[in-house]
Chain A
Amino acid sequence: METLWWIEDSKLGMLVSSSEWGYPIVLSLHALGMAVLVGVSLILAMRVLGLGKAIPVAALGPYWSVAIGGFVVNLFSGAALFTGSASTLFFNTAFHIKLIGVVIGLALTWWLVKICVRGNGEVSTTHRGIAGGSIVAWAVALVAGRLIGYFS
């Protein structure tokens, strides 16, 4: 608890929680990073599940780097948002579920890119399973993330 208060009282924590524009700016970055990461991940998963079959799965590979870019933005903006409300977020159930959803969504999408998008171009039942799982994980992360404010 001492540590959480110390984080909130840090320069970054105060900038995010108490300055006029700190919070909205970081929050906007977080929304943008989410749109990029989740948006591109959903499209990759939907292609594996059959959307736009005429487009070779492997052709979509370069977009994974774009999704990673969104993740990096959200890792930093998310960490900054955490410093602003560390003592409440740390105990927020929706926040915990969201983090689990993000880790699983990211892991499954990364796995899908590794064995399918960057594979030999074939789509197997396993690939579809991973794609479906990744969509569920992103949905959980998105729902829980949106509910954080309602849980506190």
Chain B
Amino acid sequence: METLIEFLNSTALNKYIMSEAWLWPTLEIFHFFGLCLLLGSVIIFDLRALGVAREVPLIRIETFMVSAAVGFAINLITGIVFIIGDPDRYLPNIAFRIKMILILVAGLNVLYYTWRLRPQVLRGLEGKDLSGGARYVAALSLTLWTCVIVLGRIIPYVEK
């Protein structure tokens, strides 16, 4: 960990991120925008699976997987730049570490969906016909992303 922090601190990108005053707030703005896009999409997708807005054809819901992926990509990129720019702040931080673990779990949840549920959805199955715990997958996804946002927001307040 120490070595990684030292290495990141020695990179040219680290120097650049820290030398441009406008860059950090700009990245933060993009990170917040990506977060809105991701959670907005996740809400549409998961609440539909939990029984809200049944008029939305489940077979078409993948549109919101795409917007979620775009939001996630924006945040992955800006997030990596944050880490390179200020590794001492993030890598040892407990809220940051739990946040990363929860993102991994959310990723596994998506993989499970893709493997077990997506084929059924694409066959046109809905509601009770879906086997494999669609509702649990949706509830878990909403819970995880909510926690990810809260953990991200409290990173500065749990520094030692």
Does B128 make an interface contact (CB < 8 A)? no
Contact among A28, A52, A61, A150 for B149, CB-based, below 8 A: A28
Q: How many residues of B contact A (CB 8 A)?
A: 32
Known A31-B149, A52-B64, A59-B56; judge A142-B33 contact (CB<8 A): yes
Taking a contact as CB atoms closer than 8 A, the residue among B32, B38, B39, B57 that contacts A142 in the complex is B32
Q: Which residue of chain B has the shortest Cβ distance to A58 in the bound complex?
A: B55
Could you give, for residues 9-29 of chain B, a 1 whenever the CB lies within 8 Å of some chain A CB and a 0 otherwise?
000000000000000010011
B37 surroundings in chain A (CB, below 8 A): 39, 42
Roughly how many angstroms separate A63 CA and B67 CA in the complex, as a whole number?
A: 16
Closest to B156 in A: A24
CB-CB nearest in chain A for B40: A39
Judging by beta carbons under 8 Å apart, are A35 and B29 in contact?
A: no
A108-B63 Cα distance, complex, nearest whole Å: 24
A-B contact count (CB 8 A): 101
In the assembly, what is the distance between CA of A40 and CA of B39, in Å?
A: 8
SS class, residues of chain A in contact with chain B: helix
CA distance A123 to B155 in the complex (A): 43
- Interface of chain B: mostly helix, strand, loop or mixed: helix
Which residues, 118 to 160 on B, are CB-close (under 8 Å) to A? Answer: 146, 149-150, 152-154, 157
A56 CB-CB contact with B under 8 Å: yes
Contact B56 A60 (CB under 8 A): yes
Chain B residues with CB under 8 Å of A62's CB are: 52-53
Q: Would B52 and A39 count as touching, CB distance under 8 A? A: no
Instruction: Tell yes or no: A143 within 8 A of B by CB.
Output: yes
Chain B residue contacts of A34, Cβ below 8 A: 32, 36
How many residues of chain A are within 8 Å of chain B by beta carbon? 35
Docked Cα-Cα span, A38 to B61, in Å, equals 19
A1 at the binding interface (Cβ < 8 Å): no
In the bound complex, residues from chain A placing their C-beta under 8 Å from that of B40 are 35-36, 38-43
Could you tell me which B residues sit within 8 Å of A by CB distance? Answer: 25, 28-29, 32-33, 35-41, 43-44, 47, 52-53, 55-57, 60-61, 63-64, 67, 146, 149-150, 152-154, 157
